[in-house]
Structures are given as C-alpha cells and as structure tokens.
A and B are shown apart, each in its own frame.
Chain A
Amino acid sequence: MRLRAFQIENFRSIVDTGMQTISPDNITCLIGQNESGKTSILEALAVFSSGVICEDVLRSDLSLPRVTCSFEIPENYLENKLRSVNDDFDKIVKSLNHITLIRSWKADLESQIGIGGELLEYIEKLDKDRSKELIDIKEKIKKFYSELNKKRGKKKSLTAELVDIKEKLDEHPARRSGLKLFRKRTAEVQDDNENTLSELNEAFEKARSEIDKINAFLIDKDSLIRLTEDWLETVGELDGINKKLDEISVRLEERHQTMTLLSGPTIADLSRGEWEKVLTQYKSAVKEKEELEKEHDMKILLCSFIYAGLDEEKARLKLQTIVNDRKLEYQAKELGEILLADCPHFEIFEDFGSLLPNRIDMEDLVSDNQNVEGYKAARNFLTLADLDYTFFQQPSSRILKQKIENLNAKLTLDFQDFWQQYVGKHNKIRINFELDHYSTNHGEKAGKPYLEFWVKDEGERLYPKQRSRGVRWFLSFYLELMAASRMERKQLILLVDEPGVSLHARAQEDVLKVFEDIKDDVQVIYTTHSPHLVDINKLHRVLAVQRDDVASHRSATVILDAARLGDASPDTLSPLQSIMGNPVGNQEFSVDKYNIIVNNVGTFYIMNAAMRLTGYKGRIHFIPSTDSSSIPLMCNILMGWGMKFAVLLFHNENEIEIARQLEKMMFTDQPGENENIIIMPEEFMNAEDLLSTLDFKNLILKTRQGITISNSEHVNINDLPRNFLLSKFLGDVKKGEITRDDLDEESKENLILLVNILQKFK
C-alpha cells in the first residue's frame, strides 16, 4: 500500500489542510518558514499510526483533532480482505483503488480509527436512510401514543362520568317508591322525572359503550402499547446518559484548558486518581450510550412492525432477521481497524536517537536489549550487512575475520555511494566493525564477545562518537533509512524533520540521494529550509506550508501544492528562490518595477552592467533564473503573485523552446505576440554577444587571442567560467574602471538596441 493523500484537522496551528496529495514518486518535501506548521504536519501524521496525543496539540477552541489518510491499494485487495455484504457494498468494494482511513479523537483523548471515503459515505447513507425511516416511524408511533393517551384520558373522564351518572341514577326520584304515599305529584313533575331518568340511562349506556370501545382498542393494541412504552423508557434513559456525558465533557474541557495553559485553573485541580475516575466514567458512559442507541433503534423497529399489522411473534422474528443481516454489515470503526493492520506505518526519524555506538556487547544484541545505548543503530548496521548472530558463531577466527574484512569493504563502498565528501582533499570515510573479546581486566565480561565500530579515513581511525556532528547524523540517518528499506516488516512512511541541518551543502545533497535510493521501499516526507534538499527539477514533490495570514501567528496553517506555489509568500518559497538563482535579500522580486527574468546569473550581471553603462534609469529590475529551464516556474510564481514581469530570452535553441512553452502558458493565441516575452535578434545567442568580440576580449576575457566565433560560442566551447567572468565585469563597471567610452561602436549600438527594447516596460 502507498500513501497518496492526507488531511489534518484541528491539530496545533492546523484547522483544516484539505486533502493534500503527496508526490507520486514517494518523496515529499514541505517547505515554509519557522512556525508555519511543517513539524505539526509530521507530528499529526505520526499520531495517525500511534493514536496517542496530549493536550498540547489541541487548538485554543479545544476542537478535537482528526487525521485522514488515503492509501493506494493493490488490485483485488478489498475483495480478498472483506466479506461480501450486499450487492451495493460489493460493487463499491470492487470499484475502489484506494482506501481512506480517519483517525479521530474523543474528549478523553482516546482515539479511534474508522473508514472514510466512499465506504464511509455508503455506511453513512445507509445509516441516514435508516434514521430517516426511523424518524418517520417515531413520528407515527408518537402520534399513536398521543392518540393512546387521549383515549386513556377520555376513558378516565368517561369512567368518572359513568360513576357520576350512576350516582344520579341511584338518587333519581323516579327510582324512590316511598314518596308516592305522602306526596301527591303533579302530572308535570312526574313526566319530568321520567324524562330525566331516561336521559341519564342513555348517557350511561353511551359512556359505557365508549369505554368498551376504548378498552377493546387497548386490548387490541396491547403489544404495541407495551413495546412503545418500553421504547419510551429507553428514550428516557438515553436522555439521561446524554446529560451525564455532557456534564463529564464539561469537566474534560476544563481539564484540557488547564493543561494547555490557555486559561487559569477554573476548578480545583483533580488528583490523578480522581482524574482517572472521571475518564473511566466518560468511557463507560460512551459505551452505555452506544448500547442504548442500538437498543433504541431495535425497539422502534419492532414497534413499527407491529404498527404495520404484524403480531408480536412475527414482528420479533422479522427483527431478528434484520439483526442477523446487519451483523454481516461493516461499521466504519470495524472497517477502519481491519484495514489499518495492512496500512503503512508512520515513523518519525529521531535525529540522534539511533547513533552507532563505539561498542556493543554481543549478549545485548542477541538478547534484544533495547535499553542499551546504540542498540537500534547496531541492529540497523547488522541489517545492512545482512548479518544475524549465527554469523559470529563461525568456528574459525581466521575465516571470520576475513569475512568481516570483506563485509567492511562492501559496507564502505555502499556508504560512499551516498557520502560524497572527503576528509581533507582526498580521504574518504570508511565504516568498519570488528569482533573482539573483553580482556581479563574486564571482570565479569572477561572473554565475552563484543562488536566495535569505527569510522575511519586514511589519516585516522576514530570511534563514531569522535566524529563530527554532521558525520554522526548522516551515519545515523543512513543506517536507519537503509535498514528500514530492507526490513521485512510493515511498510514504512518515514517522517524526517529538517534533515541534515548540521551537514555541509554537499552532504545535504547526499541526503537527497539516500531518499532517492530507498523511495521504492519507503515513502519519505520531510521538512526543510535548505535549497540543497529541494530538487528543482522535481517540484511536484514540494508542498509549501504557511499561515493563511502571513502577518499573524494566530492564523491557521495552509498547504499549497506545486500547482499553487504562486499563491505562496516569497518567504515561504525562499529555498526555491535560492535554487532558481534568486537569493533572498537584495535580489527579491520587485512590486514597484517590472521584473525582467533572464536566463541565468551571468546574464543578470551583464544586464546590470549594461544598464549602468548606458545610464538607463527605467523602472525595471532584473531577476536571474538558475537556468532557462526554471524560467516557466518563475513566471508561474510571479503570475500567482500578481507581479509585473517579462522574460528576456536570447536566440539559442533552449530559449526559443522556452519561449514556445511560455507562450502556451500565458494563453496567447498568436505565437510571437506576447509582449512580455522578448526574444533578442538572431545575432545574440546569449548576453555576452551584446558586446563586440573586441570588447568581450579586452574587457571580460582580458586576452588577445583571436576569436572567430561568437562570444557565447567561445565561452561554451572553451568551458570558460562565465558567471565568474561576467560578475567581474559588472564589478569593474561598478567601480568605474570600465565606462561607456571604453566600448566600441558595435557594443554601444547593441546596448542601445537593448535599452530600446526594454523601454516599453514602465
């Protein structure tokens, strides 16, 4: 598997990087100023694997981090790894050539890994559809329950009414026989009494009938009512657990605030034991909530089946079928955990964490004693040498010594492929190891074997610790990376922060060579300020990291890929500017003047000399490119910055081709019509051709040799140090040692031609 993209959210200065694609050739370089967030990116990627963070990484709003990584997968990987679920799921699995995993953290800073991307979308859609369905069902059930309560209420009132009517009936005069002997009732009164009685009887019957109906309803819907009430109870429990979680989350937040020193302690600081208790409560509350939610969904489903007309037994059978079916389905978390096992592992390279020791006992190596100093480096060394402990069990010490000697030669040659520097003029470094045994002076260790390591040159044999910091760093780096690329373990993504800060420029280029060598086995992501660690021909590797408000350190980190480097600030791009031949400082791009890009530093010198010699004071500012092939990149960047610029090209094959590329880039329909691309006339193949041959010889070459070809051809054919010569020429012009009067008429005319061309840029 191979990492193809990442996204980091809410991690230190990072709010949201967006999905960033890394270099397809496995080496990615992050450039940017200090405090831009480069190291944070590496740390975030490292915790994707480890899952362990501390409060320090939390942002001020205490939002929780999330790291998403997308990995390329081999063909048929998912089909072989996962079981078949249903047609839709299987279709998605078959179509995928990558997987996305998300590491997220909860309030207790525990992390979980889950699937992302298309598979998560599928799961979420499924959940969403089910939730929607459940919502509809809940509405219906709630409506039903509301109706039920109304009926119950009505039954209650009818029951009370019935009692009342019965009482009235019992008390009714028409029902009382003793009254006929003592009182003579009028006919009207007798009639009224009989009417009232009948009304009461009617009302009584009516009420009783309605109550019977309600009772019948209650009996008929008994299951539904019971299960609905059961569900409602679960809802209540869920509310309760949510409230509990909210309370605990508040305490967690307060704790995070205290730990990140963003505010003063608002509560009395908890003891460790008390804090553990809070965390345990949080974890168990989360777990309880998860279970309750499942229970809740099952209960509402059951209610829905009965609501639809099924009897309870059949409804339960149907629910069980659904439960069984859903057991086959993957949850996001489950998928994440399964797939993470096969994903590459992020590891941060610890600068001096694995230095080669001077000496290590064989016993420590054999027993994997990781606590002993230099163990890791020694193991790396043996891995590179393709050795295990059986090698040292060779009975013949002569043969063993010969084998070690041969191995040392090979190891040294391999190392020297990468470490190009010399000690002094001629001495190259050699790394050696030897097997020896402790003498009798060493008490308990007497006679026991140990390995001794040396870093030799022709002059001296020194222990690793006696070597320079740069050599020690590079050796540690070389051993770690080469061993990592050889080990048959989970694939590695190496994160290296500012490699080789203590290395000479040449050695920094050697670091790049190591990256190139291992990139097929180990992906590398590194940060740097150094132009020597950026390959100008491979800018697809570069991600520029800066704050979205470069003036403010409170602003969030943003990442710009190679296509958007033009949006980066000049300071962020300073390593690139150095490589492109435009060092930061007084050669910065100008916002006030027209920036005229020229093919290289030598031309830059001549142009500046020409401006001085002609006395031209136009609003132009020359910018040297490293060579003509870097010109399109510079144009890209200047276009992105919205700066005024033009390109001055000479009449040679390379620059004519560059002109064609630029015309396409600047979207000109008509070739040759882009006014910002100047191609000098045919007789000027390079800047030095602006001078007559005589002036070139007298003022620059300081020679009297006959030159029968153009100045630029003469420089190329004779491999002259062009930049040096032209810089000296500029120096002489600046000092006033060469003036306009020293030029012949041909040179003067050519310079006037140049000035006329440049005059249109104002």
Chain B
Amino acid sequence: MNNERKDFDSFIFAQAMDEHLSSLRYASMIQRSLMPDTSFLSGILKDHFIFYLPKDYVSGDFYYAYQNSGYTIIAAGDCTGHGVPGALLSILGISFLNEILQIRDVPRANRILNIMREKVMGALDQRGQDYEQKDSIDIALCVYEPYRSVIQYAGANRPLIMVSDGELKEIRPDKMPIGIAPLEEVSFTNHRIEVKEGDRFYIFSDGYTDQFSEETNKKFKIKNFRELITYVSGWNMDRQKAHIESIFYDWKGSTVQVDDVLVMGFEI
C-alpha cells in the first residue's frame, strides 16, 4: 500500500514537474521571441555574435536591438535574480526600451537609461524606503550613429569593451543600477566614442566573469575576460563566439552555472 502510494505520489510529482517544465520551456520561447533574432541583427550590424546561455529555462539576461533611420540601439541587460523573477524583469526592461525609443530624433544613451530608471522605479514603486524591493536592471546600452561615425554608450553597472586597431579599451559604467540607487539617483554619463570601420565592441552580463572554475574554484573575472577578448577580437564573429563558448565550458567544467550568461559582440 505504501509503495503504491509512493508510486502514485511520484507519478503525480513527475507529471506536475513535466507540466512546470513544459510551461517554462514555453516561457523561454516567449522570452526569446521578444529578443531580436539573428537575421534582424545581421541586417543592422556588419557582423555580430551572441553567446546567450540562461541558467534556467528563462533568463534574467536579455539583449536588445532597435534601428531607426538615424541610429541603431544595441543593449545587453542583466536583471537581478535569474530564472522566472529575472525573466519577468527582463520583459519589463524590453518593453520599457520599446516605449522610450518611439522618438524620431537621435536619443542620448544616458537619457534612455535615465528614463528607463524612472519607469522601473515607478513600476516597482521604489521610493527609497527600507522595506522596498531593491530589484533593478544592470545594462550596457549603445547608440550607434552611422552618419556621424559615433557610438554613444551609457552603462548601469555594465561596461563596454571596445577593440580598435587591436587595442582594447574598457569604458567604465556608472555604479548605479536601473532602479533605486543605494544613496541617490544622478544622471547617467553619456560617453561619445568616435569609431571607424573595423572597430569591435563587446557588451556582456556578469554571468561569464562570475562563473566558478571546476579546477580552481575561482571566478573567471574581468581581467581574464579582457585578455580573452583581446585574443579573439581579430577573428570573425562566428569564430569568436565558438572560442568564447568553448573557454566558458572548459572553465566551468561540471560545476553549476552560477548565473545567466550573455556576451554580445558586434562590428559596425
């Protein structure tokens, strides 16, 4: 009798699990559909790669692209948490960016983040009180203006790495999230970078650099990541992606993936 009960319970549990996983798979499909597909990105960028590896079915990381007649927006976001909570926040982030970018004029990268922050704080009703949820989004956002050969960059806790003529340069972000800041909110910084053909750019979440090594039990860290990028930056994007991916798996080994991973590289 007990065994039958146990079997029955196992069966029910397995069924529930199946249903749950099925819905997560479906949610993942929905989430992926909100992000730009490869053909769209190929249409707006000279070359690109996206290494996107959610920890669970759905991800707190997201990537975003938009093009208007005068500019192109590329962004990589990392929402607090992973899995379902992170995914829900990522949906919010994507929809806010869609709202903000309904303008004709070339926007400022920092103003986009300023407005996005107001929206997130408004949506999560964040007013700086102790009892509030402190969820937020970290994001690196670029606005490429082809007619001026300029990229504007603004970052909320996520940097931009640029490689030009083989030389790597990291543009540091503002140390505040898209959400309630620890002390006070100030305007994000707008970086204007003159660019030329062949320059390559990398935006990424902290999932790659925070991954623990199976061998050493240490994090990959940004220093290693910069070296990796310097090493691969001269290759074509597909090869870069393959190598970056390979290095990740090698590093991780059989350890648990600690966070959602997103690395996006593009060439203008």
Contact = CB atoms under 8 A, between A and B. Distances in A.
Q: Are chains A and B native binding partners rather than an unrelated pairing?
A: yes
Given A706-B123, A706-B126, A698 B118 contact: no
Contacts of B121: 704-706
Given A694-B186, A706-B123, A706-B126, A746 B111 contact: yes
B184 A706 contact: no
B123 A694 contact: no
A707 interface: yes
Contact of B184 (A704, A705, A707, A746): A704
Interface string B118-141: 111111111110000000000000
B135 to A, nearest CB: 13
Interface string A728-762: 00000000000000001110000000000000000
A744 B124 CA distance: 25
B72 interface: no
Contacts of A703: 127
A704 B127 contact: yes
B95 interface: no
A274 B120 CA distance: 99
Nearest to A703: B127
A697 B187 CA distance: 12
A277 B7 CA distance: 138
B117 A706 contact: yes
Contacts of B111: 746
Contacts of B187: 692, 694, 744-746
Given A745-B187, A746-B111, A746-B187, A708 B118 contact: yes
A301 B196 CA distance: 116
A695 to B, nearest CB: 8
Contacts of A704: 121, 126-128, 180, 184-185
B115 interface: yes
Dominant secondary structure at the A interface: loop
Contacts of A569: none
B95 to A, nearest CB: 12
**Residue from B110, B121, B125 with most neighbouring chain A CB atoms (10 Å):** B121
Contacts of A708: 115, 118-119, 122
Interface string A176-195: 00000000000000000000
A693 B127 contact: no
B185 A705 contact: no
Contacts of B257: none
A756 B111 CA distance: 22
A274 B184 CA distance: 96
B122 A692 contact: no
Interface in B145-193: 180, 184-187, 190
Contacts of A697: 185
Nearest to B114: A694
A697 B114 CA distance: 12
Nearest to B123: A706
Given A704-B180, A704-B185, A745 B122 contact: no
B185 A707 contact: no
How many A residues are at the interface, by size bracket? 10 to 19
A706 B122 contact: yes
A694 B111 CA distance: 10
A614 B180 CA distance: 30
A705 B180 CA distance: 9
Given A694-B187, A698-B184, A744-B187, A706 B118 contact: yes
Contacts of A707: 118, 122
A692 B114 contact: yes
A689 B123 CA distance: 22
B119 A706 contact: yes
B123 A693 contact: no
Contact of A694 (B120, B122, B127, B185): B185
Contacts of A746: 108, 111, 114, 187
B114 A693 contact: yes
Interface string A189-205: 00000000000000000
Contact of A744 (B118, B119, B184, B186): B186
A707 B184 CA distance: 15
Contacts of B123: 706
A694 B113 CA distance: 12
**Residue from A693, A697, A704, A706 with most neighbouring chain B CB atoms (10 Å):** A706
A558 B257 CA distance: 92
B129 to A, nearest CB: 9
Contacts of B114: 692-694, 746
Contacts of B119: 706, 708
A503 B169 CA distance: 75
Nearest to B190: A745
Nearest to B118: A706
Contacts of A694: 114, 185-187
Contacts of B126: 704, 706
Nearest to B110: A745
Interface in B24-46: none
A277 B212 CA distance: 128
A601 to B, nearest CB: 28
Contacts of A706: 117-126
A683 to B, nearest CB: 10
A744 B115 CA distance: 14
Nearest to A744: B187
A731 to B, nearest CB: 21
B181 to A, nearest CB: 8
Contacts of A693: 114-115, 118
A746 B118 CA distance: 15
A657 B125 CA distance: 37
Nearest to A707: B118
Given A704-B184, A706-B121, 17 more contacts: A693-B118, A694-B185, A694-B187, A697-B185, A698-B185, A703-B127, A704-B126, A704-B127, A704-B128, A704-B180, A706-B117, A706-B120, A708-B115, A708-B119, A745-B187, A746-B111, A746-B187
21 contacts: A693-B114, A694-B185, A697-B185, A698-B185, A703-B127, A704-B126, A704-B127, A704-B128, A705-B122, A705-B127, A706-B117, A706-B124, A706-B126, A707-B118, A707-B122, A708-B115, A708-B122, A745-B187, A746-B108, A746-B111, A746-B187
Interface of B: 108, 110-111, 114-115, 117-128, 180, 184-187, 190
3 A-B pairs with the lowest CB-CB distances in the bound complex, closest first = A706-B121, A706-B122, A744-B187
